Amino acid sequence: MKFASRDDIEAPIECVFAAMSDFQALELVAMRRGVKLRRLDALTEAGAGMSWDIGFQYRGKVRNLVGTVAAHAPPERLVFDARAQGYEVTMAFTLLALSRKRTRMSTEMEVRPRSLPARLLMQSARLGRAALVRRYTDRIKLMALELEDRAGRAAGGAPAAAAQ
């Protein structure tokens, strides 16, 4: 199943990419939300090959996945791969500078089932695809606003939320 979204962010492309690839800050945000993270690599610089063992609660069950940075091409592209029980997920972020202070973020997520139970669950999820697409685009819009806010603070400007 594939999902796609496109949002404009009021920040320079370099600031947006820097905010997206600040993995230490993202780890802290995830841990505050109850996600358990453990780094699996020994890389000191942000880049392809970084990986995490991720544990979280979803629908009353503890879920585990291994997430990896598959591509890290500043300041335009960031790709993550994840493997979970019966699933493979690829999430790609592509940035395009529209002007000096405006960036378009395009996202694509593909979920592929790799087991029979996962295929059955994906089949039932297709029935509620409209709701899943809506939830995905809403979450990506929220992420774009958070990135705009973080990129604005990193650039020394006022947070975007305060400006509105």
- Total number of domains in the chain: 1
Residue 147: closest CA among 3, 29, 2, 4: 29
- Assess if residue 162 is contained within a domain: no
> Residue 158 has what pLDDT?
52
**Angstrom distance (rounded) from CA 65 to CA 88:** 9
Span 7-33, average pLDDT? 93
Asked if residue 104 belongs to a domain, the reply is yes
In a domain, 111, yes or no: yes
Task: Enter the pTM of the model.
Answer: 0.87
Mean pLDDT across the chain:
91
Please spell the DSSP secondary structure of 137-161, one letter per residue: HHHHHHHHHHHHHHHHHHTTS--HH
Write the pLDDT tens digit of every residue in 9-20: 999 999 999 999
Confidence at 153, pLDDT banded by 50, 70, 90: confident
Is 69 part of a structural domain of the chain?
yes
Say whether pLDDT at 8 is over 70: yes
Q: Report CA dihedral (52, 69, 104, 24) to the nearest 10 degrees.
A: 40
In a domain, 82, yes or no: yes
* 64 domain residue, yes or no: yes
Higher model confidence: residue 6 or residue 60? 6
What percentage of the chain exceeds 70 in pLDDT? 94
- Residue 163 placed within a domain: no
The reported pLDDT for the residue numbered 152 is 76
123 is in which domain, residue-wise? 2-157
In-domain check, residue 60 = yes
**Is the pLDDT score of 160 beyond 70?**
no
Q: Can the peptide bond before residue 74 be classed as cis, meaning omega within 30 degrees of 0?
A: no
At residue 121, φ and ψ (nearest 5 deg) are: -65, -40
pLDDT at residue 157, as a whole number: 58
pLDDT at 150 over 90: no
CATH number, domain at 80?
A: 3.30.530.20
* Interval 94-147: pLDDT, tens: 999 999 999 999 999 999 999 999 999 899 889 999 999 999 999 999 999 999
